[in-house]
């Protein structure tokens, strides 16, 4: 099997960018190609990650990407709700591993910050099961049910969740591409307006515009981080049909596959980007990926050991919560961040001795997940 | 490289099915698994083809598919506008070829016939370039420009295009799953209301609901048709930026790749399903796939030699025009039809001595294309 290296990365600013359109894709692609020092002609295939065409009305991004490159090329869009970016990365990496392609491009994009609140609410709820949609479930409402179950079963508290938001905002202060450069206190989070009890506004990631891109290659260089393990799983979509809503089976299984492929365990990870669409989501993934035992995520994440400088920094980029969450770009952005951490070029937010990194990108209420392990 | 066989097919009726929902997926999957005689546990991965979540509000079909199978499984949605189904087939076949999976499922679905006319018009136009969308281009309008250029350059006529619709409606009379069981005359087509000159209403495929599914396997049986060649290309999306709008570069290039991989040429094909979203589209693909010289498609397709019983039957299923065009399902449906032709089980519409078949599935105004060659 061919070893896959990430030889180029590109990343626009995340945030409310009303003046930008799909040209966000162009910016991220141009930067990634330049970073990799490869011309568009060297690209053999393209994977585009995007959540919903309903945001900006562009329904054929594969052909848009081919046109941006000025090429007749294998280009395809993939989607698995908020895990679309991770999925594109996984599919592209598998294609290089198979020996079919030498150099491929991955780009994730979403233009959603200008969507009407009604449209955004409807589309994000659309990642739920048909029954949940029919019953009027909302995206925060589903995560609120997970949080409530976690509180009841393990004694997790709103304060503990608030610490996650505080940590990620603190990290985003050191990321010039992040949507928010605004420190938060635990009190700020707890006093923010309730969205779906027990989740407050500041437990939730924002609506964002942005794009991120990667160049993967079968040719490795000494400096280029390598793909060590990948896991991708879709599982039961409906919360009501799950044995235990405090556990995301897709995350657990995808994590196990990725660890097994990499031949390592959670204790070997130096830096991780988890999918904190809501604070409770980061907590559940932290447990399901084996960074602590089930139920212990609340106290652990509130302890400070996952802040920059701690034992295992989580979301040094600011995470979805503070860096922003342009859905299709998010999974790609996570990989861009850990590539930069592994290269050691993250400046103020650099994690020391970062040799092994993990990204976890999930879709919907955790019914699909892609876990990627990279090393240098 | 592993040889890929198609061991099971499933196909719902196409048409206006207001009482159905994503359960269409379930019907097609159940039939394909039963046809292949494999249980859901034997499936290693799933590819879902779907054009737009805006039609039915379900934005996470990968997880819906996993839930339908009751599995934790690699499931992913792919999209390339109207070529989504062919793309899912190609991606699934490549994954089996690579040796990573033994048995995989492909399902295409769209629920669009109940969409408001405004929504359908907007979404289909969304497969055009950002500039074309900004200029208010419509999907039929873009194909009308292609038709007009073909008329002016090669003397192609509306009568010749009408013969394509007449042929495909004639074939659909023999397909119990087709949307229309209604014979047409050339006069009917020419007298139908103008949609975008020179295209009339009866030059256009309908809005449809439906689903189709395939089981692919690395284990071949004597009877199972095999994948001989695949080509997938995305190219310039904007008509204005193309050197020649009478030629679809993506089709030409994808065809060349598929022929080369199969080691055959157009003269070896016994039966073909082309993507007749508009009559002019079938004509351009007929030429670009080398079934005749550029410019000769009009007289050839009007000659009767591509009807059932002729030299090379095109769209024996009824095609998009008369079988229906539930976008995400269409490319999968094409493969289902040729598998049934190669198995020799098409009854009245069976093409005699069908040993080698071709499917061409395109996206937008021909800016993406998947060409598949199957044999027995």
Place of tokens 């990321």: A175
Interface with B, mutate which of A48, A55, A60 (most B CBs under 10 A)? A60
- A152 burial (CB, 10 Å; 0-12 / 13-18 / 19+) is exposed
Q: Which residues of B are catalytic?
A: 82, 325
- The answer to whether the beta carbons of residues A14 and A177 sit under 8 Å apart is yes
| pLDDT at position A8 | 98
Could you say which DSSP state residue B290 is in? Answer: T
Write b or e for each residue in A271-299: b if 16 or more Cβ atoms lie within 10 A of its Cβ, otherwise e.
Answer: bbbbbbbbbbbbbbbbbbbbbbebeebbe
Model confidence pLDDT, tens digit, residues A228-270: 999 999 999 999 999 999 999 999 999 999 999 999 999 999 9
φ, ψ for residue B247 (rounded to 5)? -120, 135
Write b or e for each residue in A195-229: b if 16 or more Cβ atoms lie within 10 A of its Cβ, otherwise e.
Answer: bbebbbebbbbbbbbbbbbbbbbbeeeeebbebbb
The candidate with the shortest Cα–Cα distance to A34, out of A95, A105, A92, is A105
| pLDDT at position A238 | 97
Those residues whose C-beta lies under 8 Å from the C-beta of residue A292, and which sit 6 or more positions away, are: A286, A300
The predicted model gives A352-356 an average pLDDT of 96
Separation CA B298–CA B284 (nearest Å) = 9
- Of B66, B126, B232, which has the smallest distance from its Cβ to A57's Cβ? B126
Backbone conformation region of residue A347, classed left if phi is above 0, alpha if psi is from -120 to 50, else beta: left
- The answer to whether the beta carbons of residues B104 and B77 sit under 8 Å apart is no
What residues are paired with A363 via a beta bridge?
A368
Distance from CA of B336 to the nearest CA of A (A): 22
Q: Which helix (H) or strand (E) holds B348?
A: none
Interface with B, mutate which of A23, A24, A69, A76 (most B CBs under 10 A)? A76
Model confidence pLDDT, tens digit, residues B317-360: 999 999 999 999 999 999 999 999 999 999 999 999 999 999 99
| pLDDT at position A251 | 98
Q: Is the pLDDT of residue A1 over 90?
A: no
The per-residue pLDDT of chain A, averaged, comes to 96
- The answer to whether the beta carbons of residues A182 and A169 sit under 8 Å apart is yes
| pLDDT at position B220 | 81
- Of B72, B122, B233, which has the smallest distance from its Cβ to A57's Cβ? B122
Tokens of A363: 């879709």
Those residues whose C-beta lies under 8 Å from the C-beta of residue A352, and which sit 6 or more positions away, are: none
Write b or e for each residue in B338-365: b if 16 or more Cβ atoms lie within 10 A of its Cβ, otherwise e.
Answer: bbbbbbeebeebbbeebebbbbbbbbbb
Do the Cβ atoms of A237 and B123 come within 8 Å? no
Q: Number of C-alpha atoms within 13 angstroms, CB side, residue A34?
A: 8
| pLDDT at position B31 | 98
Q: Which residues of B are less than 8 Å from A128 in CB distance?
A: 60
Separation CA A245–CA A192 (nearest Å) = 26
Separation CA A236–CA A244 (nearest Å) = 11
pTM of the predicted protein model: 0.97
- The answer to whether the beta carbons of residues B169 and B181 sit under 8 Å apart is no
Q: Is the pLDDT of residue A70 over 90?
A: yes
Q: Which helix (H) or strand (E) holds A345?
A: none
In tens digits, chain B (376 residues) has pLDDT values of 899 999 999 999 999 999 998 789 999 999 999 999 999 999 999 999 999 988 888 999 999 999 999 999 999 999 999 999 999 999 999 999 999 999 999 999 999 999 988 899 999 999 999 999 999 999 999 999 999 999 999 999 999 999 999 999 999 999 999 999 999 999 999 999 999 999 999 999 999 999 999 999 999 877 899 999 999 999 999 999 999 999 999 999 999 999 999 999 999 999 999 999 999 999 999 999 999 999 999 999 999 999 999 999 999 999 999 999 999 999 999 999 999 999 999 999 999 999 999 999 999 999 999 999 999 9
Q: Is the pLDDT of residue A56 over 90?
A: no
CA torsion angle A128 A129 A131 A133 (round to 10): 30
Write b or e for each residue in B176-186: b if 16 or more Cβ atoms lie within 10 A of its Cβ, otherwise e.
Answer: ebbbbeeebeb
| pLDDT at position B112 | 94
| pLDDT at position B63 | 97
Do the Cβ atoms of B52 and A51 come within 8 Å? no
| pLDDT at position A23 | 87
Q: Which residues of B are less than 8 Å from A122 in CB distance?
A: 57
Alpha helices in A269-372 (DSSP H): 279-288, 297-302, 319-323, 327-343
Do the Cβ atoms of B80 and A79 come within 8 Å? no
Residue contacts between A and B (CB atoms, under 8 Å)? 212
Separation CA B121–CA A322 (nearest Å) = 37
Q: Give the DSSP letter string of A163-195.
A: HHHHHHHHHHTT-TT-S------HHHHHHSPEE
The candidate with the shortest Cα–Cα distance to B282, out of B126, B171, B128, B119, is B171
Model confidence pLDDT, tens digit, residues A283-329: 999 999 999 999 999 999 999 999 999 999 999 999 999 999 999 99
Residues above pLDDT 90, as percent of chain A: 94
| pLDDT at position B57 | 86
| pLDDT at position B169 | 98
Band (pLDDT 50/70/90 cuts) for residue A31 is very high
Do the Cβ atoms of B66 and A367 come within 8 Å? yes
CA torsion angle A44 A49 A53 A59 (round to 10): 10
Q: Is the pLDDT of residue A113 over 90?
A: yes
Q: Which residues of A are catalytic?
A: 82, 325
Q: Which residues of B are less than 8 Å from A237 in CB distance?
A: 60, 63-64, 66-67
Q: Which residues of B are less than 8 Å from A73 in CB distance?
A: 233-235
> What are the distances in angstroms from CA A210 to CA A10, A11, A25, A113, B103?
11, 8, 8, 9, 37
Band (pLDDT 50/70/90 cuts) for residue A95 is very high
Strands A271-273 and A356-363: parallel
């Amino acid at each position: 099997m061919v070893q896959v290296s990430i030889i180029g990365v590109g990343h626009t600013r995340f945030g409310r960018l009303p003046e930008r359109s799909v040209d966000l894709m162009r910016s991220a692609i141009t930067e990634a190609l330049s970073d990799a020092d490869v011309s568009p002609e060297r690209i053999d295939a393209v994977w585009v990650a995007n959540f919903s065409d309903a945001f900006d009305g562009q329904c054929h991004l594969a052909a848009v990407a081919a046109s941006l490159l000025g090429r007749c090329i294998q280009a395809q869009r993939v989607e698995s709700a908020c895990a679309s970016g991770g999925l594109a990365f996984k599919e592209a990496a598998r294609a290089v591993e198979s020996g079919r392609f030498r150099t491929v491009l991955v780009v994730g994009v979403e233009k959603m910050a200008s969507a009407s609140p009604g449209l955004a609410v409807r589309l994000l709820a659309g990642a739920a099961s048909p029954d949940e949609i029919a019953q009027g479930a909302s995206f925060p409402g589903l995560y609120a049910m997970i949080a409530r179950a976690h509180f009841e079963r393990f004694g997790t508290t709103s304060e503990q969740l608030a610490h996650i938001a505080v940590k990620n905002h603190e990290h985003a202060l050191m990321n010039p591409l992040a949507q928010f450069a605004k420190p938060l206190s635990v009190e700020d989070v707890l006093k923010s307006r309730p969205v779906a009890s027990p989740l407050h506004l500041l437990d939730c990631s924002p609506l964002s515009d942005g794009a991120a891109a990667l160049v993967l290659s079968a040719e490795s260089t000494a400096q280029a981080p390598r793909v060590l393990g990948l896991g991708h799983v879709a599982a039961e979509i409906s919360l009501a049909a799950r044995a235990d809503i405090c556990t995301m089976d897709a995350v657990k299984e995808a994590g196990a596959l990725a660890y097994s492929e990499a031949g390592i365990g959670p204790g070997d990870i130096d830096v991780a980007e988890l999918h904190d669409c809501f604070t409770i989501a980061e907590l559940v993934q932290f447990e399901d990926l084996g960074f602590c035992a089930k139920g212990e995520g609340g106290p652990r994440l509130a302890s400070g050991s996952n802040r920059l400088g701690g034992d295992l920094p989580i979301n040094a980029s600011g995470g979805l919560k503070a860096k922003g969450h342009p859905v299709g770009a998010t999974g790609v952005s996570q990989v861009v961040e850990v590539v930069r951490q592994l290269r050691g070029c993250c400046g103020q937010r650099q994690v020391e001795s970062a040799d092994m990194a993990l990204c976890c990108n999930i879709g919907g209420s955790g019914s699909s997940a892609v876990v990627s392990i990279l090393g240098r």
